[in-house]
Amino acid sequence: MSDSVKKWHEMQEEEKDIFPRKFKTRSFVWVLDHTYGTVHLYNITKEADGEACETLIELMGHSVNNCQWMMTEKDTIYD
């Protein structure tokens, strides 16, 4: 391998260490709706803050005051 190719690969590895979440594109919002006694999973394609998640929950027909929710990278309950 040439020196320039080796250097490029080294830079790519360094970027993974510096920016580990650079390529993250999926997050999930788990919603426990106490009104109906149901659990819902919503796939969001970008990282969102708490206010954006609460807006999503309301748009999906849930009452934020009667729900518990969490944002995570996992789409399964058991890993």
61, 68 Cβ separation under 8 angstroms = no
- Write phi, then psi, for 46 (nearest 5 degrees): -145, 160
Mean pLDDT, the chain, rounded, equals 79
Supply the Cα-derived Rg of the chain in whole angstroms. 19
Chain segment 28-56, per-residue pLDDT in tens: 999 999 999 999 999 886 667 888 888 88
What residues contact residue 70 under an 8 Å CB cut-off, 6+ apart? 29, 30
Judge contact between 70 and 44, C-beta under 8 A. no
What is the per-residue pLDDT for 19? 47
